[in-house]
Amino acid sequence: MYSINSPEAHDKALLARRAAKIAALNSNVRLDWPDDEHWKRLASEHGIQLPNKTTLCTSGGIVRYLHKLGKDGNWFRWWTGYSFDEWIEANARWSLRALVGIMLEEINSEDSSVAAYTNH
């Protein structure tokens, strides 16, 4: 085992990022999204970092980000009408980053609706 700051750890992380990018390119995942800068701002407001652009969408990744955003699988099904696996299959070209981005937009929209309602 080696330290997290060791050259070996750095090399391992670099190889993992390269492998993820290759997997994303081979799977035809869309990497360019016009809303990316907007999603970065929303992520910052919610105190999270967006996944890498090449991170493939998985059930585990969705669960991890739902938890970070204070949501759960029931919310996801209500919002999308899909289970995790159904959503991934129906949106095969989407990265986890894009999904998290639109989740942030939905949560932001919900927050704005609640604020508008409570101010009347």
pLDDT digits (tens, 9 = 90+) for 9-61: 777 777 767 766 666 666 678 888 999 999 999 999 999 999 999 888 999 99
CA torsion angle for 104, 57, 17, 49 (degrees, to 10)? 10
Span 102-111, average pLDDT: 92
Q: Which residue has the tokens 């999204």?
A: 33
Span 88-92, average pLDDT: 92
Span 89-96, average pLDDT: 92
How high is the pLDDT of residue 117?
46
How high is the pLDDT of residue 28?
79
Q: Please check the confidence at residue 116 and state whether its pLDDT lies above 60.
A: no
pTM of the model: 0.75
How high is the pLDDT of residue 25?
63
Q: Which residue has the tokens 């990265």?
A: 95
How high is the pLDDT of residue 88?
93
Per-residue burial over 76-88, b = 16 or more CB atoms within 10 Å of its CB, e = otherwise: beeebeeebeebb
